[in-house]
Structure 1
Amino acid sequence: MRRFFYDTSNNTNTPFPKLSAFSIGASVELTESIVHHWCRVLRANIGDQGILFDGFGGEYQVELQAISKKHATVTLLAHTNDDRSAPILTKIGLVMSRGERMDYAIQKSTELGVTAIQLLSSHHGEVNLKPTQVEKKLAHWQQVAIAACEQCGLNRPPLILAPISINDWLKSTTSATPINTETTISPIIAMLNQDAYYQALQQPADLRLQLSVPAAGQPAMPKALLTVLQQPVPYIELLIGPEGGLSNEECAQAADVGFEPWQIGARVLRTETAPVVALATLHALCN
């Protein structure tokens, strides 16, 4: 069955209730984006069934009850409490790249269960967004993550955080700074920041790792990694630089706030490949 993210923000001043506010058998109005995708693009009919999830855990099997030109309602048939979130909380500080490479990095990181992605600009980075571009690009990248959730079965979308300079981000990692939902997160998922699952990101990470270029004499794996992965729900922050790498100053600043170098293999990975390899490796080591 098709899966759809139920956007409780509804892009209006009147947010929709969480799905958990309804009882099984209740009628629920679909959001505009689902109406467009399911009813118009996919030409769904009354009686067709699908899956809704709103990011607060679990998902609902629904059946289309009524369809009009601009609206549609469904009946909630059943609730499944499955949480397919990764057993590791991960936040990636990712220096932005251009075009499809950035979309790829976000899409595949989502499929591998990343919890949040902090977009970064850096000295050697290719992308520096103008203030007028941030809102549109942030909404686009959040939609890339949501579409990946709909495809892969994840029912808690990662938070895509508005870009800041790598220097500012590294300074903020030493303190628990609440996320400002008005400026940092797309309105699409702003309400999710109130959920306990995402609130855990406000705490200091158990381990900070900087993916680095292979270097002689550098350990392949930080000694603390395997120990941290044995914790019930480890929280790991990853720093991934641009194609040109981080500057010496940025590397030194990262080391000063506790980021340990981590080289995975003997090859130099592209910036869109590194998150995939890092997350897959963490999950393999955790199992």
Structure 2
Amino acid sequence: MRVPRIYQPVPLAAGQQLALDDDGANHIGRVLRMQPGQAVMLFNGDGQQYPAIIDEAGKKNVLVTVQSVEQHHVESPLALHLGQVISRGEKMEFTIQKSVELGAASITPLWSERCGVKLAGDRLDKKVAQWQKIAIAACEQCGRNVVPEVRPVMRLDQWMAEPFEGLKLNLHPRAEYSINTLPEPVQALRLLIGPEGGLSAEEIAAAREFDFTDILLGPRVLRTETAALTAMTALQVRFGDLG
């Protein structure tokens, strides 16, 4: 069996014994039904990973001992910040999960004029917390030891106005330039992906005023979740670590 990777948001060190948090204990003890003596891999977001051995395992409580500290760097050289206008239902969850797998350094959910999602107050806070858990689970699956932040939801105009030293791109189906025509090298990048109904003409004009460059993926109009992942893949091939 593949050694499961478990995120633990606490300081970790070789020789340390700790009880896994509720999520980790549930996955190891209840879902996988692992036993004492079996191996797990812990990480806490500091960029390292920590091989550990299970000492005690129950359905609610799992005790492990950290064996060592390993350097395991799989982060992309491209610091890609995804600004994604919130899409409906599972589409947003899918986008966050796959963008983490593709190496996104951070993600900001956005409100825009044509955003069809209505969330506020506690419901919005719970949704952002859920998205962050999806990002953590994606790191557990794909081998990343740095957890991308899912930032609080912002209005599109506020996000575009944030200071940023790097290339800023807006996916546009009628843009003149493609990703392959972008100059090299690029180390930091902001990628704006609009809603299912597209950005309004006013929002597109505002993006240009904030120095976003319109880019084209191809001749076909892609759904918002397809556009985000296709663009990220192409950008990682050109500037990052996908071959």
Query: 1:196 maps to what in 2?
Result: none
For normalisation by structure 2, the TM-score amounts to 0.92
Residue correspondence of structure 1 range 120-269 to structure 2 within 5 A? 120-171=110-161, 173=162, 175=163, 204-215=164-175, 218-221=176-179, 225-229=182-186, 234-269=187-222
| 1:217-273: CA deviation from partner (whole Å, max 9, x where unpaired) | x122485x33233xxxx1100011011110111111111111000111111111101
Partner Cα distance (1:112, 1:43) in 2: 30
Cα RMSD of the aligned pairs, angstroms, is: 1.6
For normalisation by structure 1, the TM-score amounts to 0.79
Give secondary structure in 1 for the equivalent of 2:119: coil
Q: 1:67 to 1:96 in 2, by over 3 A?
A: same
Partner Cα distance (2:43, 2:63) in 1: 15
Give secondary structure in 1 for the equivalent of 2:199: coil
Displacement after TM superposition at 1:151 (Å): 0.9
Give secondary structure in 1 for the equivalent of 2:202: helix
What amino acid is aligned across from residue 184 of structure 2 in structure 1? T
Partner Cα distance (1:59, 1:94) in 2: 29
Using the aligned pairs only, state the percent identity: 37
Displacement after TM superposition at 1:73 (Å): 1.8
What amino acid is aligned across from residue 209 of structure 1 in structure 2? L
Query: 2:235 maps to what in 1?
Result: 282
Give ranges in structure 1 of 5+ residues lacking alignment: 9-17, 176-203
Displacement after TM superposition at 1:7 (Å): 2.4
Query: 1:60 maps to what in 2?
Result: 50
Give the 4+ runs in structure 1 shifted more than 4 A.
none
Displacement after TM superposition at 1:47 (Å): 0.7
Partner Cα distance (1:206, 1:222) in 2: 17
| 1:16-75: CA deviation from partner (whole Å, max 9, x where unpaired) | xx11xx2x2332222221111111222111111111111111101110012356432211
What amino acid is aligned across from residue 86 of structure 1 in structure 2? S
What amino acid is aligned across from residue 148 of structure 1 in structure 2? A
Partner Cα distance (1:128, 1:237) in 2: 25
Partner Cα distance (2:178, 2:40) in 1: 45
Give secondary structure in 2 for the equivalent of 1:106: helix
What amino acid is aligned across from residue 37 of structure 1 in structure 2? H
Query: 1:111 maps to what in 2?
Result: 101
Give secondary structure in 2 for the equivalent of 1:227: coil
Q: Is 1:37 matched with 2:27?
A: yes
What amino acid is aligned across from residue 5 of structure 1 in structure 2? Y
| 1:116-166: CA deviation from partner (whole Å, max 9, x where unpaired) | 111001111111311221111011111111111111111112111121211
Give secondary structure in 2 for the equivalent of 1:123: coil
| 1:151-201: CA deviation from partner (whole Å, max 9, x where unpaired) | 111111211112121122122x2x3xxxxxxxxxxxxxxxxxxxxxxxxxx
What amino acid is aligned across from residue 94 of structure 2 in structure 1? Y
Q: Is 1:5 matched with 2:7?
A: yes
Partner Cα distance (1:69, 1:38) in 2: 8
What amino acid is aligned across from residue 283 of structure 1 in structure 2? Q
Aligned length: 238
